A and B are shown apart, each in its own frame.
Chain A
């Protein structure tokens, strides 16, 4: 029994070519394609304007002024036409921008929301393979990186290509030999671009990783503030943070250096091309293949050819970032939820008393040894079960399998005879609710948090629930009552109060099976007993499973399950188990001596 399971990790980056990634990214968001034709039509107008206007101006200067006598009539006509073209371009540009912004922002919002939803669909184990901060940036910063490219870069590539094309045609009209020379100079650059792109890509990947490390380090100084102070480890934490900040700074500067050296290369190549034109042009001219006027005109034409290439290198950067962003978002969406909701095909369980069975269930965390081994147990409806065992014996793991936060490696878990994997989530979550070991609260009021168990519950229902749980006194003791702010993660409440809220939240959800994983470990005994009694009253007729180190719970349960090192070693009512020689008798003895000395 030492099979090692590989868990599902979140793909760091989606696979596939850059173009394929962009295509997939766009395919995911229908908003982008809606009205795309109109936007494209406007884009053609705006782009054509952007391509033609500089060339027209150049031509006006060339033909109007380079000749011996300036052709005034021609110039005023050309200037007028150009001005009209500029204005039309501007208007088309405005209309196109507005549509483009709307389309891209809508589509990115959709992508964000889909990514967010998908993260929640992943199993807890898969979610834990990545730091929270990194996971967050997949639906925030990484998506933002796409927008610049979609709103500016993508179009600039089209403009640049168009300009290069028109410039090439014009150059060809002047001289095919010189055009060949120009292309001969730039071709190596064009060929080398993908390589630069790979460099940049790896440099920016490093930057992103270092930024992630830095944010994680910084967040420790905030989240771990109390521990750091209590242990006087400010200096060590400070050094760790400094190292992370410095590594991030270095990575940024390195990436910047690559960009900074690649970008001006076009200038140098252009100068080489121009020099070549001068030399070859004079040579051709002496052979009678080109006139002086044409050669000079050609020299000026080349700027039309160079500037779009410059923009293209700049856009490369943006494109690079965008593709990286898409990859990271798609990386989330490509990660299969290994604990998947059967959805429509799933079984809906009717409400009512619930029974649970574990059939030969084995579970191991990814890459680890099995922590639950061949557990077989049936919990009949309406029983109150206590789960006990040493720390690390697998109780929480048992609870997570029962609520299908994870699936067993082998064996199966059934509810009312139906394999848990076939029950649709909406039905499952309605019927089985667990209160986890650490009561996480959302930043908001007490009422907000309790209402989380049953959206739409009125304040009266919430107060009633608290009263039923025997917590009315506590509520009355709070100066702001239900409006008490709980702070981030509930940190403005005491640990025990936090657990009370988490419990009330689950209670309000009104499940058929309530599973408490040390849900009252920080609550004082008097309150705990009161809670237990209240729960006993209201859970009569329901199934309740309680994990607790305080064995008072076990004493009152119909049945006790005893775990030891991943195995279910004993089961039966308390009275029976204490009489047997075994793990439970020991546990109970030490509990009795702990609680009653």
Chain B
């Protein structure tokens, strides 16, 4: 997305600055005042030096005797102005920084709040890398111009003062100034216009390089096991070289304009000297006045570039702000009702005519008019081939996503009418894909729920995780690493299970939550679960697990094909039979083949 520096972008950039100024007006005012102090003292310190020379030094030489009073006044003036100037600089930098970092932090808070608030369906539509960069580099870019902003505002004041001073001193010399300074401004503008699309592209590539590195390091195990290090490096290198070329393109523009911008004020001084010398010869000004104007020019040469810095950051800022805004303004947020779930003990679940699609295309339904009900305290098994929509269905049961059509009712209440936080109080889902936080075992089990260690241990025991947790070096306080990297697959899954049961949910949903657990442990876990008074929905393939269920719902291609007891389905549903008896048939066939071989031998 190459942003041209059009006046529209500039206007938008200024309005972004306006947002920050309104939000942090006190800090901004302090920064600008400091900047003004700095500007004023810059001129004043030159004046103080002149005063000391004229009133203390020269008279002393003329009279051959130092006038202590004048001398010390001069010294005090010099020290005083310098001190104020230093304070001005420090204040400007501190407050400008404070403003910038406050705004960054604010945007980050707002953006992440939005991440936590927006429905999962929204997350499905946005790549992780993009969301991370919205919160990090975009929030950073949006407020980058705030750092030089107070200085730039100060410079504008300084320029006005200087302009007045020059006009008063000599209108002709002032004319030179009125030519040079606008020239610098125009040059700056041309500079930014040339630079910004290149800079935006470099920024984009920087994000892409980062994304590649992220993904590649994330998949390090695959890269290693297939020995694809060279190919990965090549993939990274290609993008890194594109970034290099983009940066060089930026550099070429910078390399041209930076020396130009640096040279212009110096040339200005030279023009002032040349013109001034003639004015001097003509007697229109004094040499002191000429020196003063020349001095003003050199003084302004550096700060005036602060204007350029602000302008330089504006396009990037606009792009960053737009991307932050996209998150902040994202709609489709989940609406919550007011209903509270009454009662304790197992909850009743009802699914009616439920349909769901991941993409925008409603033709590609992943779930089609799914309906079933689970009376309180019963256990239902969801069975279906790979990709038939079980995990998707389960997500709608805890309202991670809202269905396209149809509804889910808990104790007769539509999930959409339940108040915020109400579902999580009553329902716990153990997802198919275990996710552990980079936190302690305790933190991962409680997730902030106020429960004591005894309850945590009880939950761990039920999930058959107490054994290995007690053997961990710091027990409950052991950190499990990013995504739980220091645990075995089955151990991770059992922690996730404990996380669910510690909440004593009224509806427990297990999405293939024991796939990495060996059958013995699974049997014990299931036994433990039987004791809990909860309605259970479980996705499973193993017969023992299915046998726990009062009813089985068999899905295929997102449709309920049949439902009934395990025996009923075995008897009448061919797809189901095929699926759950696969191992047995396999063994039978093998036995037959072996028997056949035995006979022929």
- The answer to whether A and B come from one shared complex is yes
Q: Give the docked Cα–Cα distance between A442 and B226 (Å).
A: 13
B116–A234 CB distance below 8 A:
yes
- Which of A242, A257, A271 is packed against the most chain B CB atoms within 10 Å? A271
B582–A391 CB distance below 8 A:
no
Choose, from B63-71, B161-169, B347-355, the stretch at the interface: B63-71
Q: Give the docked Cα–Cα distance between A367 and B387 (Å).
A: 41
B226–A529 CB distance below 8 A:
no
A219–B520 CB distance below 8 A:
no
| Contact of B52 with A by CB under 8 A | yes
| Contact of A348 with B by CB under 8 A | no
- Which of B227, B228, B425, B521 is packed against the most chain A CB atoms within 10 Å? B227
Residues of chain A from 268 to 297 with CB closer than 8 A to chain B in the complex: 268, 270-272, 274-275, 278-279, 281-283, 285-286, 291-292, 295-296
| Contact of B108 with A by CB under 8 A | yes
B429–A230 CB distance below 8 A:
yes
**Using a Cβ–Cβ cut-off of 8 Å, how many residues does chain B contribute to the interface with A?**
174
B448–A221 CB distance below 8 A:
no
Choose, from B124-132, B184-192, B304-312, B368-376, the stretch at the interface: B124-132
Choose, from A89-97, A192-200, A355-363, A411-419, the stretch at the interface: A89-97
- Report chain B residues within 8 Å CB of A2: none
Q: Which chain A residue has the least Cβ–Cβ distance from B249? A: A101
B263–A70 CB distance below 8 A:
no
Given contacts A113-B236, A223-B435, contact A144 B132 (CB under 8 A): no
Choose, from A124-132, A177-185, A375-383, the stretch at the interface: A124-132
Q: Give the docked Cα–Cα distance between A238 and B240 (Å).
A: 35
| Contact of B82 with A by CB under 8 A | yes
| Contact of A64 with B by CB under 8 A | yes
A526–B274 CB distance below 8 A:
no
Counting contact residues on chain A (CB < 8 A from B), the size range is 35 or more
| Contact of B57 with A by CB under 8 A | yes
- Which of B115, B384, B387, B485 is packed against the most chain A CB atoms within 10 Å? B387
A525–B541 CB distance below 8 A:
yes
Residues of chain B from 214 to 239 with CB closer than 8 A to chain A in the complex: 214-229, 231-233, 236-237
B240–A89 CB distance below 8 A:
no
- Report chain B residues within 8 Å CB of A488: 127-129, 215
- Which of A231, A285, A437 is packed against the most chain B CB atoms within 10 Å? A231
| Contact of A76 with B by CB under 8 A | yes
Q: Given A256, A295, A524, which contacts B579 in the complex, CB threshold below 8 Å? A: A524
B115–A221 CB distance below 8 A:
yes
B236–A253 CB distance below 8 A:
no
Residues of chain A from 234 to 275 with CB closer than 8 A to chain B in the complex: 234-238, 241-242, 245-246, 248-249, 252-253, 256-257, 259-261, 263-265, 267-268, 270-272, 274-275
A64–B488 CB distance below 8 A:
no
Q: Given A131, A299, A396, A523, which contacts B489 in the complex, CB threshold below 8 Å? A: A396
Q: Which chain B residue has the least Cβ–Cβ distance from A93? A: B259
Q: Give the docked Cα–Cα distance between A155 and B255 (Å).
A: 13
Given contacts A140-B209, A286-B64, A428-B227, contact A596 B120 (CB under 8 A): no
A286–B136 CB distance below 8 A:
no
- Report chain B residues within 8 Å CB of A108: 244
B281–A529 CB distance below 8 A:
no
B325 to chain A, nearest CB (A): 18
Q: Given B71, B248, B583, which contacts A101 in the complex, CB threshold below 8 Å? A: B248
Q: Given A97, A231, A529, which contacts B582 in the complex, CB threshold below 8 Å? A: A529
B206–A120 CB distance below 8 A:
no
| Contact of A57 with B by CB under 8 A | yes
Q: Give the docked Cα–Cα distance between A214 and B579 (Å).
A: 46
A69 to chain B, nearest CB (A): 9
| Contact of B379 with A by CB under 8 A | no
Choose, from A16-24, A323-331, A457-465, A549-557, the stretch at the interface: A549-557
Q: Give the docked Cα–Cα distance between A527 and B254 (Å).
A: 60
| Contact of B93 with A by CB under 8 A | yes
Q: Give the docked Cα–Cα distance between A476 and B471 (Å).
A: 48
Q: Give the docked Cα–Cα distance between A368 and B132 (Å).
A: 34
Q: Given B93, B116, B214, B424, which contacts A260 in the complex, CB threshold below 8 Å? A: B93
Question: Which 10 pairs of residues, A with B, have the shortest CB-CB distance?
Answer: A429-B227, A232-B424, A391-B490, A101-B251, A97-B255, A271-B82, A496-B386, A236-B448, A256-B97, A93-B259
16 contacting pairs across A/B (C-beta < 8 A): A57-B266, A61-B291, A72-B277, A120-B216, A136-B210, A230-B398, A230-B431, A231-B428, A233-B424, A236-B448, A267-B86, A278-B74, A452-B222, A455-B231, A474-B386, A529-B582
